[in-house]
Amino acid sequence: MEQPVLVLGATGFVGRRLVAALLAADHRVRCLVRDPQRARDLAGDRVELVQGDMLDAAAVEQAAESVHAVHFLVHTLSRQSRRDVDFMEVEQAGLRNVVDAARRHGVRRLLYLTAIGTAPDAASSWGRGRARTEQMLFASGLDVTVLRPGMIVGHGGDGFGMIERGARTPVAMIMAGRRTRFRTVAVDDLAGALVQLMDEPRAHGRHFDVGSDDILTVGQMIDEAAAHLGRRPPLKLYLPRRAVAALAPVLERAAGMPKGAVAGFVGPGSDADLVGDASPIRSLLSRPPIGYREAMAAALANAS
Ligand SMILES: NC(=O)c1ccc[n+]([C@@H]2O[C@H](COP(=O)([O-])OP(=O)(O)OC[C@H]3O[C@@H](n4cnc5c(N)ncnc54)[C@H](OP(=O)(O)O)[C@@H]3O)[C@@H](O)[C@H]2O)c1
């Protein structure tokens, strides 16, 4: 029988779309999920659920047995069993469990989803933290591929949720720099790229920025979405990042998030452009990405 593909983060925004894309490409899927209730709708003939936290080495080991490849799409900006450490360290601890389990079971292939703006000298602490994570993975000896999106366009996403809400109200609250530009990518294009690159040896040991040629500010994305809905462009209120940064420790404790989960996204350098260079990945993919307008229209249609 065909080996399943393991997905961590399957109950998340991108993870759900990846599971659907893997099934559409005739793969079997295994998901490591913290709460099977949240994954009820994922379970099916060709989808197996293993209950567990990525910080539980035994659960990860069980989930990684006899799999063809592992996709890591976890976001640690959520309630975590370890709150004493930085949210980047939580992610790295989970990835170390994945690498150890993969080595023990002879699994070679690991795909890690992160974000544009990852670099050892990035202005933001999360950009530098995730660069350390990538270095750890590339040194693991596994066949690793890292995909870095900017703004992921799809219903239910954290970033695109701000655009959906903003487009439907007279006053949009924006948690991003007024001039910060994002490369946009349709969530299904991103999921499709993860599926295609899974069996692409030319992608081993490489990281790729991914996305369309449409590079926009959040304000521009909101205005285009509002126009699509036949609404006036809303008034835009940019939340002061310094004030949010000052409140970050309180917000993190209240939400049970690990340290830095909020602060890392509003601290110094968090208003840098997330554009990157998406041309290297294009030659490895079978079709070009769709643009912002088409992706946004599909996302808004999914919401209704
Ligand atoms: N959303 C965006 O616009 C965007 C943009 C650029 C890059 N990205 C990157 O894309 C990746 C996925 O983001 P997303 O928006 O899909 O995230 P998401 O919707 O917040 O989903 C996160 C997933 O991680 C799982 N998870 C969290 N902690 C876990 C743990 N300790 N053990 C096991 N599973 C755990 C969650 O499971 P539960 O259901 O149990 O909470 C959920 O399935 C992230 O690396 C993010 O940085 C996202």
pLDDT of residue 121: 92
290/186 Cα distance (integer angstroms): 7
| For residues 260-272, average pLDDT | 78
- Residue with the larger pLDDT of the pair 259 and 49: 49
| For residues 176-182, average pLDDT | 95
- Residue with the larger pLDDT of the pair 257 and 165: 165
Q: Which is the closest atom of ligand 1 to the Cα of 34?
A: 40
pLDDT band at 68 (very low <50, low <70, confident <90, very high): very high
C-alpha of residue 9 to centroid of ligand 1, in Å:
6
Q: Is 54 in the pocket of ligand 1 (CB under 6 A)?
A: yes
| For residues 105-123, average pLDDT | 95
Mean pLDDT of the chain: 93
pLDDT of residue 253: 82
Percent of the chain at pLDDT exceeding 70:
100
What beta strand segments (E) does the chain contain?
Answer: 5-8, 29-33, 47-51, 69-72, 109-113, 143-148, 151-153, 171-174, 181-186, 206-209, 215-217, 235-238
Q: Residue 35 is part of a domain; what is its CATH number?
A: 3.40.50.720
| For residues 37-60, average pLDDT | 95
Give, using CA atoms, the residue closest to atom 41 of ligand 1: 78
Give the structural domain span for 63: 5-303
Q: Is 80 in the pocket of ligand 1 (CB under 6 A)?
A: yes
pLDDT of residue 144: 98
Total domains in the fold of the chain: 1
pLDDT of residue 124: 85
pLDDT band at 78 (very low <50, low <70, confident <90, very high): confident
246/250 Cα distance (integer angstroms): 9
Q: Which is the closest atom of ligand 1 to the Cα of 32?
A: 33
From 14, 16, 273, the mutation candidate for ligand 1 (largest count of ligand atoms within 8 A of CB) is 14
Q: For residue 261, is pLDDT > 80?
A: no
pLDDT of residue 76: 83
| For residues 134-149, average pLDDT | 98
Q: Is 152 in the pocket of ligand 1 (CB under 6 A)?
A: yes
Give, using CA atoms, the residue closest to atom 13 of ligand 1: 75
pLDDT of residue 259: 79
Q: Is 51 in the pocket of ligand 1 (CB under 6 A)?
A: no
CB 150 within 8 Å of CB 183: yes
pLDDT of residue 43: 84
177/194 Cα distance (integer angstroms): 29
From 74, 275, 292, the mutation candidate for ligand 1 (largest count of ligand atoms within 8 A of CB) is 74
C-alpha of residue 94 to centroid of ligand 1, in Å:
13
Residue type, 185: V
| For residues 17-33, average pLDDT | 98
| For residues 139-161, average pLDDT | 96
pLDDT band at 230 (very low <50, low <70, confident <90, very high): very high
